Structure 1
Amino acid sequence: MSALAAHPVDPPLTARWLGRVDYATTFQNMKDFVAQRTPDQREQLWICEHDPVFTLGLAGRPEHVLAPGDIPVVPTDRGGQVTYHGPGQVVAYPLIDLQARRYFVKEYVHRLEEAVIRTLADLGVTGHRVAGAPGIYVRLDDPFSHAVLLQKPQQRAPGSPAPQPDFTGLGKIAALGIKVSQHRTYHGVALNVAMDLQPFSRINPCGYAGLKTVDLSTIGVSVPWDDAARQLAAHLTRLLAV
């Protein structure tokens, strides 16, 4: 199916605004919701921020957690390596049924990333995808430039390996990690708005030593957390409803 092809779904997503919540509790609540949801229950989009926590994905290697200090490390069942969640970051967890919405995991990931790109565009920032590295990145020297990245994903031959990511001149502004169980999704995407970025220096973000992490405030964009959260939620709702 082509990206963003229209397949209206009824009923639409129900947004739940959780506020600042404990990560481990939210993780368990997501698993319970996905396991227990009946076909007639509305799918949901949870929006929240977390107290400081490092989360380790299924592919996570402990050596990428360099110096956690007093920040807890929570193993999870999402894909990917290690990342950090903390105050000032918008975290979005779509709890949807991919089979009912008639698209596959690759397109689902594309839609999550596209929602972030559109949210950034609303703020004048150009977000980029990088070949071989899920998430969204910005140019450190000019986050507002529309110039195409050399590192952008390209069409590759079926069965060919993913390219080695090239983060030259880039900072990561949004991370993505998902889990799909019986066609149902949980975990999601996190957009850095106005955070204490120091904890990212205690890990190799997403398993990449030296990968720079940024937020909107450090690239010169001042926006309230609530405004960024509502923009992201609106784009996710639209993009996941077709």
Structure 2
Amino acid sequence: MNGSNDIEWRVSDGLVPYPEALAFMEERARAIRDEGARECIWLLQHPPLFTAGTSADPAELFNPLGFPVFEAGRGGRYTYHGPGQRVGYLLLDLQRRGKDIRRFVHALEGWMIAALGELGVAARREPGRIGIWVGEGANEAKIGAIGVRVRRWVTLHGFSINVDPDLSHFGGIVPCGIADFGVTSLARLGIAAGTSAVDAALRRHLPDFIAEIGSAHDAS
């Protein structure tokens, strides 16, 4: 009943306009809660843009290339999305799977770390920082971002993993409010894996992610 097989796994080719993705999320989240619609994980890419979370500080937006900026409604600050970045939107019912938002975020981090590990990247969490990190010292950098919202116990938004984006585009913001560290990508790390390889790794580790979310509910 609560397994990963119940979830629609949706993958979009091409670049999905952000307003289209936001409208889909809003409607699907409503339908999950009000109509018992199927949960969904949607993997996609966006054209170059910035999104502003609920804690976004205008002083952290420079935007020299004039990319569009969208109010996202998720937690966090400014985030860049663009070609070469795998974005994952998660529309999951925590009322059914366990009402534990911290567990959900921790499980999401673990899912990303496990998928990246399969691709040869030693990724990790860092205490006090949001996102997924690689490297040490001067080479420490962020490879994945997380920004979620939970409405009526349905999750919206999700994560991004830098596969091979134009990293110079991140210079238009202070990514997620963290100015002291850079951003990196699989390509920058010398990992020749495209979005399809990332998708496959995420799919293989999906059951563990879902099991971790549901464990609090199953134990109650």
Same-fold status (TM-score > 0.5): yes
User: What are the ranges of 5 or more consecutive residues in structure 2 without an aligned counterpart?
Assistant: 215-220
If the length of structure 2 is used for normalisation, what is the TM-score?
A: 0.89
Q: Distance in 1 between matches of 2:185 and 2:142?
A: 8
Go from structure 1 to structure 2 and tell me whether the alpha carbon gap of 1:68 and 1:104 turns closer, same or farther (over 3 Å shift). Answer: farther
1:120 paired residue number: 116
Aligned-residue sequence identity (percent) comes to: 34
Q: Is the CA contact 2:52–2:71 (under 8 Å) kept in the aligned structure 1?
A: yes
Higher helix share: 2
Of 24, 30, 41, 2:25 maps to 30
Of 111, 119, 133, 2:129 maps to 133
Go from structure 1 to structure 2 and tell me whether the alpha carbon gap of 1:199 and 1:210 turns closer, same or farther (over 3 Å shift). Answer: farther
**Alignment partner of 2:188: what SS?**
helix
Q: Is the CA contact 1:9–1:101 (under 8 Å) kept in the aligned structure 2?
A: no
Letter in 2 for 1:90: R
User: 2:195 matched to 1:225?
Assistant: yes
User: 2:161 matched to 1:191?
Assistant: yes
**Alignment partner of 1:219: what SS?**
coil
Number of equivalences? 210
Q: Is the CA contact 1:57–1:78 (under 8 Å) kept in the aligned structure 2?
A: yes
If the length of structure 1 is used for normalisation, what is the TM-score?
A: 0.81
Q: Distance in 1 between matches of 2:198 and 2:73?
A: 27
User: 2:21 matched to 1:12?
Assistant: no
Letter in 1 for 2:11: W
Give the aligned CA root-mean-square deviation in angstroms: 1.9
Letter in 1 for 2:78: V
Q: Distance in 1 between matches of 2:73 and 2:61?
A: 17
1:173 paired residue number: 143
User: What are the ranges of 5 or more consecutive residues in structure 1 without an aligned counterpart?
Assistant: 1-6, 142-167
Of 86, 91, 116, 1:90 maps to 86
Q: Distance in 2 between matches of 1:233 and 1:91?
A: 14
Go from structure 1 to structure 2 and tell me whether the alpha carbon gap of 1:237 and 1:95 turns closer, same or farther (over 3 Å shift). Answer: farther
1:152 paired residue number: none
Of 31, 39, 43, 1:43 maps to 39
